[in-house]
Amino acid sequence: MSDPYKSGLATFDEDTDGDGTADAPGRIHVFVRDTSAVRQGKGGMDLQLVESAGDDAYSKLIGAEVGDVYNIRGTVTYFGRTIQFDASALQFLGTREDVGLPASLMEPVTITTSEANKMLNEEVQFNWQNFSDLNNQYVRFESASILDRTIDDDGRPSWIFTTDDGDTYVENYDHSLRYRNDKDAYESPFKVREEPFRPPAPASVVNVQGFLNVNTDFEAFQNEFGAVPNGAAFHLSPFADSDLEVLEQPTVRNVTVSSPDGIPDASETITINVDANEGTVSDVNLRYVSPVNATDTTTVETTSTGDGAYEATIDGIEDGDFVQYFAQVTDTNGDEFTSLTSTYRYLADGIDEIADLQTTASGGDGPSPFVGDTLTTDITATVQTNPDSTSLLAIQDDDSDTPATWSGVLMQIGQTARSLRPGDQITITSAGIQENFGLTRLVDVDYNEAGSGDPIPYKTLTTSALQDPVLAEQHEGMLLRFNDVTIADTNPDAPDDFGEFTFTTGDDADDLRADDASDAVPDTLNAQLSEGQELDYIQGVWSYAFGNHKLLPEFVSDVGGISLPAQEVPGTPGELALHPNYPNPFSDATTIRYTLKKAGDVRLTVYDLLGRRVATLADERQPAGLQQMTFRAENLPSGLYFLRLKAGSETRTRKMTIVR
């Protein structure tokens, strides 16, 4: 039912002919329909085959064409809630015409979004009444309206549509190379797009068809349209270009605004680009609020510069204020269209303290106003951690008895930065600002060493204080200490175990997470603790990852009142340990370290959220002790991955995040 050469979920990294060059993706996804559907109906008759490179089924399916008929034998498997079929044997019977099957067998089932998904308590989930019939089914939605989209010419664009004016909806999923833009590594005969795919503009009317499937990791619009409980909602995967037919488009298809280049001036000119039918735009304005808590919105008229571009200037911004702005376009029918809202911050003296980079427009949760920029800075700060032994590098620049909020930040560790020690003073002259799933980090940092002294003391707080998300955000990157703590949970992620535990200075409702991200903390630390255990203190770097704020102790001694056997220290044979990779999240490369308690066969692999192997980093016999390697992931898309270490009969797993 789908073309194997359009399958695009895997990484193109398999060398199937042994010549040392990648010539195939690690797996293919192919949707099939049981021919019994001719007699019994199509409900429940479709299934997704997932075959890995090198398997016999893979080699037979890779040359198949839509309409080919096979006898298939294999095993039904699951990854999470996604049902898949792993074929062990295939027998080609001929084409559909050869075996006398009607063309109607290949047609989709026409349904509405309300038949696929329903709303419950303002959240979307399966329409359970139809789940068995529709799971993996080839379906068609007619005269559907696009509710929203994201444009990503180098990544994975998203779009969401409805057939009932938004009462219910379905989001896309990008199984197919024809509906994603991040697979340039694929080679012929795989059918990669020559031009980027852009979803239709909001308010477009479309006919769209594809395969309904269960996915839990790609909810691009959950904040706007309601979170999916436990990922329980159907997504649609169109495969062929003809699966998406645009019937109507709005006169204005897209409106974007530019961002200031570098540190903004008090007077900043903004460019607005309008993608619209010729002669249909009647008015374009720039609207802004500053400071962001102001009640009035200022409207600025624009000047056309041609080819759908307009300019407007924002004046009179006070030092330190944030500006939130967007463009508003009115067409000749009187309909209004707006861009996404953008934010910048004006700093008259430039960036001379960490708070200039860290402070958010909301004063709490949110990104740095300079995310994605590389800026000239004049920040003198104190190194707070031991990057060489822990792979953590945090700096602060307020050395008062009670350090101010926003005065700390984590920094990428370059080769020279590993020689820094707590108390060293550095002057940062240039830095890139990166936001990794909610955590601000400095990357590509240029600095000069400016002396040495003592690190800034830990700031003492209670766990109840950091239940306030505003305060939690404001303390990111700072060294914090909690006295008289009680262990609440030794494994909050059970049945998985990622080495985390929770603790509290009050009751269990006020607990916070701690993570073994430091290379100097063994990944079995949480197993040495017990629920209800009382400790004198716990201290470390306050950070954020995988949806939670958490404390990162540098050393076992930072978890006051416990001691561990010497053999459990990373680097010493005695305990199998997969240490946190650093950096994490990362863009192109990360350092992986693990400790083997004895010599033996080792297999180190990387899996994506679908449970499919995307890389093998080691598959050999290795000596006991600490091992280290660099994992380069330039060809992998952004997302969550699992690093799995297998040594003998033991296995260790960690999460990694790639961010582009």
- The pLDDT tens digits of the residues spanning 507-530 come to 778 999 999 988 888 888 898 899
Three-state DSSP class for 242?
Answer: helix
User: Where among 418, 452, 486 does a domain terminate?
Assistant: 452
Residue 214 sits in the same domain as residue 131: yes
The structural domain count of the chain equals: 5
Residue type, 317: I
Q: Please indicate, yes or no, whether residues 1 and 20 belong to a single structural domain of this protein.
A: yes
Kindly provide the residue ranges of all beta strands, DSSP E only, lying in 249-352, ordered along the sequence: 252-257, 268-276, 281-289, 298-301, 303-306, 309-314, 322-331, 336-338, 342-345
Beta strands, E only, 5-101 = 27-33, 46-52, 68-79, 82-95
For the chain, residues with pLDDT lower than 50 are 218, 227, 565-573
CATH of residue 580: 2.60.40.1930
Output the CA angle 517-520-526, nearest 5 degrees: 60
Cα distance between residue 5 and residue 191, in whole Å:
6
* Strand ordering across the sheet containing 82-95: 27-33, 46-52, 82-95, 68-79
Query: Which tokens is 122 given?
Result: 């303002």
SS3 344: strand
Identify whether the C-beta of residue 411 lies closer than 8 Å to the C-beta of residue 396: no
- Beta-bridge partner residues of 632: 589
Spatial separation of the C-alpha atoms in residues 269 and 228, rounded to whole Å: 40
Tell me: do 311 and 368 sit in the same domain: no
Question: Does residue 116 share a domain with residue 105?
Answer: yes
Asked if 467 and 503 sit in the same domain, the reply is yes
Determine the Cα–Cα distance for residues 111 and 107; give it in Å rounded to an integer.
13
Omega of the bond leading into 422 within 30 degrees of 0 (cis): no
User: Based on the number of CB atoms within 10 Å of its own CB, is 353 exposed (0-12), middle (13-18) or buried (19 or more)?
Assistant: buried
Residues 64 and 162 in one domain: yes
Our measurement of the distance from residue 124's CA atom to the centroid of its chain's CA atoms, rounded to an integer in Å, reads: 21
CATH code assigned at 327: 2.60.40.10
> What would the DSSP string read from start to end of 473-510?
HHTTTSEEEEEEEEEEES-TTTTS--S-EEEESS-GGG
Task: State the pairing for strand pair 170-172/158-162.
Answer: antiparallel
Q: What's the rounded Cα separation, in Å, for the pair 457 and 481?
A: 9
Read off φ and ψ for residue 618, nearest 5 degrees: -155, 140
Task: Give the residue from 538, 564, 590 where a domain finishes.
Answer: 564
Asked whether residue 82 falls in the same domain as residue 183, the answer is yes
- The amino acid at residue 24 is A
Task: Note the pLDDT of residue 20.
Answer: 76
Q: How many CB atoms lie within 10 A of CB 254?
A: 18
- Identify the domain containing residue 386 by its residue range: 354-452
- Verify that 587 and 515 share a domain, yes or no: no
- Within this chain, do residues 296 and 335 fall inside the same structural domain, yes or no? yes
- pTM attached to this predicted model: 0.64
Q: Is residue 332 domain-shared with residue 470, that is, in the same domain?
A: no
Q: Do both 182 and 298 map to the same domain?
A: no
Query: How many helices and strands, by DSSP H and E, does the chain display?
Result: 8, 41
Q: What is the pLDDT of residue 48?
A: 94
User: Same domain, yes or no, for 51 and 189?
Assistant: yes
What pLDDT is recorded for position 550? Answer: 96
Q: Rounded distance, CA 43 to CA 20, Å?
A: 45
Tokens matching residue 370 = 């300079």
- Determine contact, residues 98/74, Cβ cutoff 8 Å: no
Which of 192, 216, 249 represents a domain boundary (last residue)?
A: 249
Q: What is the pLDDT of residue 563?
A: 53
- According to DSSP H, which parts of 264-397 are helical? 354-358, 387-390
